Amino acid sequence: MLIDFHTHAFPDGLAERALASLSRDIASPPLTDGTVSGLLSAMDAWGVDRAVICNIAAKPGQTENVNTFAIETARAHPGRLSPLGSVHPAYPDPEAELKRIRAAGLRGIKIHPDYMGVTIDDPAFDRIFDLCADLGIFIVTHAGFDVYSPNRVYASPDRILRRLERSPKTPLVAAHYGANMMWDESEEKLAGRDLFIDASLGDFCRLDPRQAARILEKHDPDRILFGSDCPWASSADTFRYVDALPLSDDRKEKLCHLNAERLLGLDGKSGEAGSC
CA separation for the pair 115, 111 (Å, rounded): 9
Residue ranges covered by each domain of the chain: 3-264
- pLDDT of amino acid 174: 98
Which distant-in-sequence residues (6+ apart) come within 8 Å of 178 by Cβ?
Answer: 143, 144, 157, 160, 186, 187, 190, 191, 195, 197, 215
Buried/exposed code over 225-253 (b: 16+ C-beta within 10 A; e: otherwise)? bbbbbbbbbbbbebbebbeebebeeebbb
Q: What are phi and psi of 35, to 5 degrees?
A: -90, 165
Q: What are phi and psi of 159, to 5 degrees?
A: -65, -40
CA separation for the pair 247, 258 (Å, rounded): 15
CATH number of 3-264: 3.20.20.140
pLDDT in tens for each of the 276 residues of the chain?
Answer: 999 999 999 999 999 999 988 888 777 899 999 999 999 999 999 999 999 999 999 999 999 999 999 999 999 999 999 999 999 999 999 999 999 999 999 999 999 999 999 999 999 999 999 999 999 999 999 999 998 899 999 999 999 999 999 999 999 999 999 999 999 999 999 999 999 999 999 999 999 999 999 999 999 999 999 999 999 999 999 999 999 999 999 999 999 999 999 999 996 444 333 345
CA separation for the pair 236, 45 (Å, rounded): 8
